[in-house]
Amino acid sequence: MLEQNLERIGIDTDSLRRINWSKWVLVLLTLAISAAIGLRGVYQAFRGRTLLELGILIILFVIMVGLVMYRLELGVVAILFTSLFVRFTIPTGTLTNIPASLILSAIIVLIWALSMLVKRNVQLAPGRYVLPILLFIVLAILSVPYSWLLLNPNLFGRGIWAKTELGFTFAQIGGVTLMILLPAVMLMTANVLRKEKWFKLVFALMLLVALPEVLQRILGTRLALGDFRLQTGASYPLWVVALTIGQVYFNQSLRMWQRALLVSIATLWFLFNAGQNTVWFSGWMPAIVALLFLTFFRSRKLLFVLLIVGAAIVFARADYYFGYVWNDAIASDSNRFEIWRIIIFDLTLTKTNIIFGAGPAGYLPFYQFYYPGAAWVSHNNYIDIIAEMGLVGISVFLWLLYSVFRTGWEQREQMPSGFLRGFNYGVLGGFVGTLFAMGLGDWYIPFVYNIGIPGFDFAVHGWLLTGAMLALSYMKQSAAAPAHDSK
């Protein structure tokens, strides 16, 4: 009846049938929801800009959404590119700004989810990691309203962490956003990347800023790059070393000059962080762990040589490493064990809830109330998860980590090309380094009152790269195929 009435007034119904309505509905929904998210912050960020500037930003945003609609893989690449290069932030009215990479990640994950809903094809690639990811996200969401049941007005109004109950609630929302969005980026990446060219592009982007940054540090100049600086925290050196050494060790198709270049990049990045920031263990020790892990599976003899060389360097400058570095670590971080004891065995065990935790950053008000003037953050992702999500949360989190590692481990020799084999090994080594780094700081899931929401810029690297490794299970060869085949 409707079609007949439309034809009666001269409207061609055949052309209407040919329109991809699901795509247009998805575009409109995405634009509407994206505009609604953070509207107040966007207003503050754009306030004072000219109409031309606003027009350019809107056009770029519409183009970005269109490209991501056309190729979701471009969204994954855009997240990585934005985290490395874009320093645009949206103010929140506090000392914390929201980085562009977080905003973009939320939009792209939303597009990915809506695309499945509109197409009525809500299906995730099978993998042992899927269930723990979904459970962790659900537990993180439920932890916020649950934590409100534990809080009372007496816990607030002291110290620097949580001055008001309302302010702390906003901080918790920021914290749970990190706990949800980072795993969501990993899950999306695992379901989107399906061709080798995208893995090569991700690899190239991770190293794109490594060379100019090395040259700038060697020459002591900015190389006409203005105020450009790599702002990726402690995680970037880890991934530079892991990704490059993974290719050098396990990509048999590399030429000698390519291996030499990659080894040089890894060596320089390690030396810059270990030599110039020796007392900052998070800046170089995770890279050492990744290197030793990869070397162990490449050559036991080479591992023995590396250990001998490392020991010789340490003992040759024993006065520096034991007299300065070790003593500085003891002086600066010796109280961490006491902090962890208080958070786990006092606050979480007796004052909040050891089963479900106290929610994102929920232990801090209790810490301040019962230990006024001595409240500290844990600087440890494992301790944070136990305190925030209890035994249930840490169990799911460890299950997630185990599932990710086992997936990468089992498929490492089943890749269809030398590059992908090296990529899988490199990400696996970086993931092992990350497991170590989480004990030194909140590098994998930034703690809202420590590294904070701006830490999304460098935390997203590990989750996105890990998701890319999980996506390789779609491309792996059959068990009977040659393990060292290189295309």
Stretch 447-469: mean pLDDT, rounded?
91
Helix ranges restricted to H, 326-370: 326-333, 336-341, 363-370
Under DSSP, the state recorded for 162 is: B
What are the DSSP calls for 29-56, one per residue? HHHHHHHHTTHHHHHHHHTT--HHHHHH
Distance in Å from the first CA to the final CA of the chain: 58
Residue 260 corresponds to which tokens in the numbers above?
Answer: 């030499």
Cβ(477)–Cβ(415) below 8 Å: yes
Distance CA 159, CA 368 (A): 7
Phi, psi of 291 (to 5 degrees): -60, -45
Say what the pLDDT of residue 60 is.
65
Which residues are registered as beta bridge partners of 99? Answer: 89
The helix-helix angle for 196-208 and 418-437 (nearest 10°) equals: 50
Per-residue pLDDT averaged across 326-333, rounded?
A: 68
Task: Check pLDDT > 90 for residue 160.
Answer: no
pLDDT mean over 409-418: 92
pLDDT in tens, 76-85: 998 998 888 8
The residue type found at 346 is: D
CA 322 to chain centre: 33
Query: What's the mean per-residue pLDDT of the chain?
Result: 80
pLDDT (0 to 100) of residue 136 = 97
CA dist., res. 452 & res. 456, Å (int)? 8
Domain boundaries, the chain: 2-123, 140-474
Query: Helix/strand/coil (H, E, C) string of 178-209?
Result: HHHHHHHHHHHHHHHCCCHHHHHHHHHHHHHC
Long-range CB contacts for residues 52-55, cutoff 8 Å, separation at least 24: none
Mean pLDDT across 23-28: 49
Higher-confidence residue: 365 or 438? 438
The more confident residue out of 246 and 317 is 246
pLDDT of residue 2: 44
Which of 217-221, 225-229, 264-268, 391-395 is modeled with the greatest confidence? 391-395
Q: Which of helix, strand or coil describes residue 119?
A: coil
411 compared with 235, residue with greater pLDDT: 411
Pick the residue with more confidence: 303 or 320? 303
pLDDT one-digit tens code per residue, 204-257: 999 887 777 677 666 666 554 444 555 556 688 899 999 999 999 999 999 999
What amino acid occupies position 61?
A: F
Q: Please give the pLDDT value at position 35.
A: 44
Q: What is the pTM of this model?
A: 0.83
Residue 480 pLDDT = 40
Give the Cα separation of 360 and 182 in Å (integer): 15
| Structure tokens, 192 | 């989107």
125-155 per-position pLDDT tens digit: 899 999 999 999 999 999 988 888 887 767 7
User: How large is the average pLDDT for residues 36-44?
Assistant: 43
236 near 458, Cβ under 8 Å?
Answer: yes
Instruction: Determine the Cα–Cα distance for residues 312 and 61; give it in Å rounded to an integer.
Output: 54
What pLDDT was estimated at residue 382? Answer: 95
- Distance from the Cα of residue 107 to its chain's centroid: 16
CA-based angle 13:18:19, to the nearest 5? 100
> At 34, is the pLDDT very low, low, confident or very high (cuts 50, 70, 90)?
very low
| Average pLDDT for 54-64 | 64
Q: How confident is the model at residue 180 (pLDDT cuts 50, 70, 90)?
A: very high
Between 140 and 318, the more confident residue is 140
> Would you say residue 384 has pLDDT above 90?
yes
Nearest 5°: phi and psi at 81? -60, -45
Long-range contacts of 18-26 (CB under 8 A, 24+ apart): 22/118, 22/119, 23/69, 23/118, 25/118, 26/69, 26/111, 26/114, 26/115, 26/118
In terms of C-beta density within 10 A (0-12 exposed, 13-18 middle, 19 or more buried), how is residue 40 classed? Answer: exposed
Residue from 462, 438, 446 nearest 206 by CA: 462
Least confident interval from 10-24, 124-138, 424-438:
10-24
| pLDDT per residue as tens digits for the range 286-314 | 999 999 999 999 999 999 999 998 888 87
